[in-house]
Structure formats: structure tokens, C-alpha cells
Amino acid sequence: MSSINYSSREINAKIAYYGAGLCCKTTNLHYIYKKTNPDSKGKMISLATETERTLFFDFLPLALGEIRGFKTRFHLYTVPGQVFYDASRKLILKGVDGVVFVADSQVERMEANVESVENLRINLTEQGYNLDTVPYVIQYNKRDLPNCVPVAEMRAALNPRGVPDFEAVASDGTGVFDTLKAIAKQVIMELKKGQEGG
Ligand SMILES: Nc1nc2c(ncn2[C@@H]2O[C@H](COP(=O)(O)OP(=O)(O)OP(=O)(O)O)[C@@H](O)[C@H]2O)c(=O)[nH]1
Ligand SMILES: [Mg+2]
């Protein structure tokens, strides 16, 4: 869960980038890191294998400025997409405030995308969250490739809830900040709701 610290006037929120292996989760964070000014970001930490596959997670702390007098920090994480790292994925979902699902648009990765959403649903449920209500956005990545599934089809398969979704080419940054802004907005709205509700 996010923490709101009234004495230090700070809000901390945790976002997880989730999705199948090689769908571009880490590339999203690298791009965000590269384009954020030095005052707004902490050190990016990547625990990866020799072949650059995420082993445990990537972590990037971002300062989003002040919201109603509260310093707002977002902690971005990626999960490892490879199927056998499920224990790590579960751990990274602990205390999550928002999820970005990154889908690989290639035809041959659609099955992996669908499996990954199912895995996300199960792992969220184990942590006491619900994929149907958690702040959530979807990114259709690798739109630069010739063998992309049409967005309408991807939406039908992966976005029954109709959450905000974006086409992206993470390697050149297309769609990366639109996705981040959309999830940040939802998380902040959720925080406000929490405050108003009690
Ligand atoms: N076609 C295409 N390839 C990309 C794009 N962005 C990144 N890639 C490549 O796709 C692969 C995926 O990169 P990562 O971002 O490491 O994938 P990941 O989702 O973090 O993978 P895991 O850590 O194993 O879960 C790499 O080989 C990238 O070079 C893109 O926009 N288009
Ligand atoms: Mg990765």
C-alpha cells in the first residue's frame, strides 16, 4: 500500500510493470530514467542476468513534484517475465498501488501475453488485490514490428475492463510517458478517494 506521511508531508506509491518475458518492461524504465532530469530521479537498480534478462526486479524511484503540498514519490518496479521466476513476481506485487501490463504485440507472443495476465490476476489475488479494481493500464508494445496483432484484437483479448491503453515502441520512447502518466493519475485518484472516504 502507498504510504502517506502527514508529518513529513510525503506520499510514496509503488507501480509494477508486469508482462511476459522480453515484452519491454525493463526498456520502459530505461527510457524513463534517460529522459528524467537528475533532480527527479534516484539511482536505477537492475538485478539482471548476463543476457540482460531481469532476474529479480528493476527499481527506479521518481519524484513527481508536489501534490497539494505533499512531496510525491513513485517507486517503479519491473517484474521478471520469465515463467519460472514466479516467486519474485509475487514479492514485487506486495504493497503495489498500480500495475502497468506491458503486452508484446507480436502474433507469436499473444499466448504468452494472455498467460501473463492470468498469472497477474492470480498473484494479485494472493496479495489481497483484484485485477478488476486495482489502478491499471495496458501498453501494447513493439508496434514497430511487421507481425503486430491489430490493436482492436489485442484489446479484446487483454483489456476486457476497458482501462486506459496505449500503443508503444519502448525502444524509441513512443507511448512510454503516456503510459506512466496514465497510471500515476489513477494511483493519485485512488489516494484521494482513500482520504475522502475516511
Ligand atoms: N521491436 C522492438 N523491440 C524492442 C523494443 N523495445 C525493446 N526491444 C527489445 O525487446 C527486448 C526486450 O527487452 P526488455 O525490456 O529487457 O524486456 P523485459 O520485458 O524486461 O524482459 P524480462 O526482464 O525477461 O521479463 C530487448 O531485446 C529489446 O532490445 C521496441 O520498441 N520494439
Ligand atoms: Mg526486464
pLDDT one-digit tens code per residue, 30-62: 999 999 999 999 999 999 888 889 998 999 999
CA 122-61-41 angle, 5° bins:
150
Query: pLDDT-based confidence at 197, cuts 50/70/90?
Result: low
Is 25 close to ligand 1, i.e. is its CB under 6 Å away? Answer: yes
Chain segment 99-119, per-residue pLDDT in tens: 999 999 999 999 999 999 999
pLDDT at 1: 56
Cβ 174 vs Cβ 153: under 8 Å: no
To 10 degrees, what angle do helices 110-126 and 151-158 make? 30
**The model's pTM:** 0.96
Q: Could you identify the residue written with the cell 515484452? A: 23
pLDDT at 89: 97
Is 21 close to ligand 1, i.e. is its CB under 6 Å away? Answer: yes
Ligand 1 pocket test, pick from 18, 24, 166 with the greatest ligand atom count within 8 Å of Cβ, gives 24
| Residue 174 grid cell | 513512443
**Any residues with CB less than 8 A from the CB of 117 and at least 6 apart, and which?**
101, 131, 158
Is 92 close to ligand 1, i.e. is its CB under 6 Å away? Answer: no
Q: What is the mean pLDDT of the chain?
A: 94
Mean pLDDT throughout 137-147?
Answer: 98
pLDDT at 150: 98
Cβ 76 vs Cβ 84: under 8 Å: no
Give residue 23 CA to ligand 2 midpoint distance, Å: 8
In terms of C-beta density within 10 A (0-12 exposed, 13-18 middle, 19 or more buried), how is residue 186 classed? buried
| Residue 169 grid cell | 515502441
